[in-house]
């Protein structure tokens, strides 16, 4: 016969499983929605930049941020003057372009392609002679200028729903309880005044210094959610996590799913943050559909959440209500336009900074290197 404790445990596991199933369903909803596909189609129009150009953009954007010219320390979409015009947006007056190096190509013609010496460069507009083969080749670089989306105005930029920071108070005792577990794992919790100190993120786990940093300039509810996320990293992942993009995506899905479960057990609705965050990272795992990625992490996430919840002496939600993931309270029916209209009208990104800069942008590579 099962003891009360075993029953409680079984109940809890069943609730967490159900919670994970709902999370998976919400991720599916989000990534199959129109906002998501529009944003992907838009992103596909921006070409990948070379690593050196990414660094050039990064450095100059930081300078523009420090000079107060752009609202966000991280560049988002970056394009040339005419490309922005083609997308229905105009570079705003007084915004300096970022200089990058664009390839210069030349056209070469030859009647005998196998003979390297026979190739001659064609002048602009010059036509090849009869029987000649034409090929283009990079012959050098020239300076070119690009602008970040935040330096332009015009047609709205289609974006997938962005994580929304939690507001309000933290559940009593949860912060201290999580700190104790982070410390028991050999990490020190450090509170930093702002995101600028941790690469623009809300929190950061440093496996070299053995620290977990959380920024203080957000509501206590958001801070405690971030701490739960970082504790998820501490318990589930190790220092090699960042090396592979593949693993990074899975690691973020796991850590944030743990945070959702810890939050839900305390009556916190983290879905406005968790669903877009998990979807974005799950979509970055190559070769798998986002929903598959989330599903595959279910077991590890549940185990970790249980371990954390078992060690807390906080008051936890007993009736199995999972705020935010019940059918009535999800807001997926509400048009995204309505939700984000004020932000768009202000002409700037007011989206909260993700835990680890999880924006699907062209400079993502640089962000992942923690630059
Ligand atoms: Zn993370």
Mean pLDDT by 10 residues, the chain (371 residues): 77 90 93 86 80 89 94 89 94 94 92 92 92 91 94 90 92 97 97 91 93 97 97 86 66 95 94 94 90 94 94 80 50 34 28 40 32 25
pLDDT digits (tens, 9 = 90+) for 50-100: 888 888 998 999 999 999 999 988 888 999 999 999 999 999 999 999 999
**In a shared domain, residues 361 and 318:** yes
Instruction: Tell me if 39 is assigned to some domain.
Output: no
Structural domain contains residue 40: no
pLDDT at 341: 30
Q: Distance from the CA of 229 to the center of ligand 1, in angstroms?
A: 6
- Give me the number of domains the chain comprises: 2
Q: Are residues 216 and 318 in the same domain?
A: yes
253 lies in the same domain as 204 = yes
- Give distance in angstroms: CA of 246 to centre of ligand 1: 14
For residue 114, give its domain range: 45-70+78-156
Task: Looking at the structure, tell me whether residues 259 and 349 fall in a common domain.
Answer: yes
CA of 203 to the centre of ligand 1 (A): 8
Q: How far is the CA of 165 from the centre of ligand 1 (A)?
A: 14
For residue 333, how far is its CA from the centre of ligand 1 (angstroms)? 28
Q: Where is the domain boundary, 131, 156, 181?
A: 156
- Gap from CA of 298 to ligand 1 centroid (Å): 17
Same domain for 290 and 176? yes
Structural domain contains residue 37: no
Shared domain check, 50 and 21: no
Do residues 236 and 324 share a domain?
Answer: yes
Distance 250 CA to ligand 1 centre (A): 10
Residues 204 and 315 in one domain: yes
Answer whether residue 38 is part of any domain: no
Q: How far is the CA of 255 from the centre of ligand 1 (A)?
A: 6
Same domain, 111 and 191: no
What pLDDT does 200 receive? 86
Q: Which of 140, 156, 172 is the last residue of a domain?
A: 156
Instruction: Say yes or no: 86 and 135 in one domain.
Output: yes
Q: Which residue, of 128, 156, 184, is where some domain finishes? A: 156
Q: 77 C-alpha vs ligand 1 centroid, how far in Å?
A: 23
Together in a domain, 135 and 209: no
Query: Ligand 1 centre from 88 Cα, in Å?
Result: 35
Residue 284 has a pLDDT of: 87
Q: For residues 49 and 166, what is the distance between their CA atoms, to the nearest angstrom?
A: 34
In this structure, the answer to whether residues 55 and 13 fall within a common structural domain is no
> Is residue 295 included in any domain, yes or no?
yes
């Amino acid at each position: 016969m099962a003891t009360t404790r075993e029953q409680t445990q079984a109940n809890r596991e069943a609730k967490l499983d159900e919670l994970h199933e709902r999370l998976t369903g919400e991720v599916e909803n989000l990534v199959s929605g129109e906002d998501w596909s529009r944003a992907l189609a838009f992103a596909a129009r921006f070409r990948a930049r070379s690593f050196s150009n990414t660094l050039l953009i990064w450095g100059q954007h930081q300078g523009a941020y420090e000079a107060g010219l752009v609202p966000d320390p991280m560049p988002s979409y970056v394009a040339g003057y005419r490309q922005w015009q083609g997308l229905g947006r105009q570079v705003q007056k007084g915004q300096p372009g970022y200089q990058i190096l664009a390839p210069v190509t030349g056209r070469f013609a030859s009647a005998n392609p196998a003979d390297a010496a026979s190739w001659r460069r064609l002048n602009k507009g010059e036509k090849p002679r009869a029987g000649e083969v034409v090929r283009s080749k990079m012959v050098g670089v020239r300076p070119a200028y690009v602008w970040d989306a935040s330096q332009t105005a015009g047609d709205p930029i289609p974006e997938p729903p962005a994580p929304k920071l939690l507001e309000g108070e933290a559940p009593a005792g949860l912060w201290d309880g999580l700190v104790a577990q982070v410390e028991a794992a050999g990490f020190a919790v450090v509170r930093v005044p702002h995101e600028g100190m941790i690469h623009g993120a809300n929190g950061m786990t440093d496996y070299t210094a053995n620290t977990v940093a959380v920024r203080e300039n957000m509501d206590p509810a958001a801070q405690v959610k971030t701490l739960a996320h970082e504790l998820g990293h501490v318990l589930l992942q190790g220092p090699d996590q960042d090396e592979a993009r593949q693993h990074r995506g899975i690691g973020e899905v796991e850590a944030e799913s743990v945070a959702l479960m810890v939050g839900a057990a305390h009556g916190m609705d983290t879905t406005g943050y968790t669903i877009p965050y998990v979807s974005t990272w799950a979509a970055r795992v190559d070769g798998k559909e986002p929903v598959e990625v989330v599903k595959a992490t279910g077991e590890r996430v549940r185990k970790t959440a249980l371990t954390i919840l078992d060690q807390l002496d906080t008051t936890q939600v007993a009736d199995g209500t999972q705020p935010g993931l019940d059918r009535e309270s999800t807001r997926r029916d509400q048009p995204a336009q309505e939700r984000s209209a004020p932000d768009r009208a202000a002409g700037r990104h007011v989206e909260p900074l993700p835990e680890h800069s999880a924006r699907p942008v062209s400079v993502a590579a640089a962000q992942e290197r923690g630059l």
